[in-house]
Structure 1
Amino acid sequence: MQKTTEYLCRHHGGDGHKAAEKTIQSHAKNHDRDFQTFWHRHCDRQLSDKASVIDLGCGPGLWLNELAALYPNARLTGIELAPYMLDRINGLATNINIIIDDLNNPTVDIPVHSVDVVLANLLIHELHQPVTLFSKLRSWLKPGSVLILCDMVRQPLADYLEHQYADINLGSHTPDYEALTNAFQHFQEHNRYHPEDLIQLLERCGFKVIESELFKNGRAVRIAAISV
């Protein structure tokens, strides 16, 4: 777990407090009306007041608290490892349980076929490989239950640099060396997969993809898949 914790801190810019604050500030944007429309379209038939829902990489638990307000008797579980995210968790509803685990190779004991919905929002690109997690999810989810996956996908380097350095003319000004090194490292980490890569991986791991849609001007994808 220690190696993954160190990796996540570096991936999040080396400043855990800043990363946690950014997660809180961007929560509404990452769970906006389009996300919620997609979520309800695929999850409402699975959700009930006694449903079991897992939020992978739940951060400060804000989405879990929103679900708890809708389903006060549901079993809501968040799995998180980064200590700076865990430190920002407070005021959770009583039906929320937080588990500390490394999602690269989860060791948490989730009963087989006991989960109705799983969310992986901006998580998969942070894993060394997602197959181990997908295999665990197949075991946890009830047959026909839903995985919602939202993540960054491959984009041209020029687009990424424009997004990172929109106010800097690279032809006349060279940014700080460390900042550039981090930007190119982050480019590799945020560009691991094409949307089709994720779809094919899920299908090879025993899921049936029922919908996918691009957002963030093609820089991210939402996927709904069911366990079969």
Structure 2
Amino acid sequence: MQNTTEYLRRHHGGNGDKAAEKTVQSYAKNHDADFRLFWESHCAAHLSDHASVIDLGCGTGLWLNELAQTYPQAKLTGFELAPYMLNRMDSLASNVEIISDDLNNPSTELANHSVDVALANLLIHELHQPVTLFCKLRRWLKPGGVFILCDMVRQPLADYLQHQYADIDLASQTPDYTALVDAFQHFQEHNRYHPEDITALLQQCGFEISAVETFKKGRAVRIAAISV
């Protein structure tokens, strides 16, 4: 778990407080109208005050708190390991529980077939491999339960660098060396999977894919998967 904590700190730029603040500031962008439409389309029928919902890699817990406003009696559980995210969790709703666990190989044992809806928003690219989590998640979800996965996916290096360095002409100006090393490291981490890789893994782990939607000009994907 300590190795994963250190990896996450490096992945988030080496400054935990800054990473937590960025998570708060980017909350609206990562839960925008398109995300909410996708969420409602695939999850609304499963949500109620009797539902069990888990947010995998829940960051500072803002989405769970928002859900709690609509479902104040639902069982809402967040998984988060990074201490700087845990430290930024302010005034969590009374029906929100936070579990600190390494989602590369979760030690938590939720009851089989006890979860209605699960979300992993910008988590999967941070894992060393997602299969262990997918297999455990399928056991946790009720038959017919929904898993919403949102994440960055593979893109050409040229497109990635143009996105990262939109204001710099690489032909005439070389960016800072440290910044370039960081950009190429993040390219490897953010470009692990093509959408078809993720859907194939989910299917191999026992999920049925009900929707796939790319966004951010193909740089990210939303997937709705059903536990069968």
Residue 192 (structure 1) aligns with: 192
Q: Which amino acid aligns with 1:109?
A: E
The within-5 A match list for 1:151-170 is 151-170=151-170
The within-5 A match list for 1:1-228 is 1-228=1-228
**Which whole-Å CA distance do the structure 1 matches of 2:199 and 2:192 have between them?**
13
1:44 is paired with a residue whose SS is helix
- Give the aligned CA root-mean-square deviation in angstroms: 0.6
2:110 is paired with a residue whose SS is coil
Deviations 1:135-191 (A, max 9, x none): 000110001100000000000111110111111111222112111111001001000
Gaps of 5+ in 2: none
**Which whole-Å CA distance do the structure 2 matches of 1:78 and 1:207 have between them?**
22
**Which whole-Å CA distance do the structure 1 matches of 2:168 and 2:36 have between them?**
35
1:169 is paired with a residue whose SS is coil
**Which whole-Å CA distance do the structure 2 matches of 1:227 and 1:61 have between them?**
25
Out of 25-34 and 171-180, give the one that drifted further.
171-180
Deviations 1:53-76 (A, max 9, x none): 000000000000110000000000
1:133 is paired with a residue whose SS is helix
Q: Which amino acid aligns with 1:170?
A: L
2:35 is paired with a residue whose SS is helix
Q: Which amino acid aligns with 2:155?
A: Q
2:208 is paired with a residue whose SS is strand
* Identical amino acids, percent of aligned pairs: 74
**Which whole-Å CA distance do the structure 2 matches of 1:201 and 1:63 have between them?**
26
Q: Which amino acid aligns with 2:131?
A: V
Q: Which amino acid aligns with 1:142?
A: K
With the length of structure 2 as denominator, give the TM-score of the two structures: 0.99
* 1:7 shift after superposition: 0.4
**Which whole-Å CA distance do the structure 2 matches of 1:38 and 1:175 have between them?**
38
Give the 4+ runs in structure 1 shifted more than 6 A.
Answer: none
1:58 is paired with a residue whose SS is coil
Gaps of 5+ in 1: none
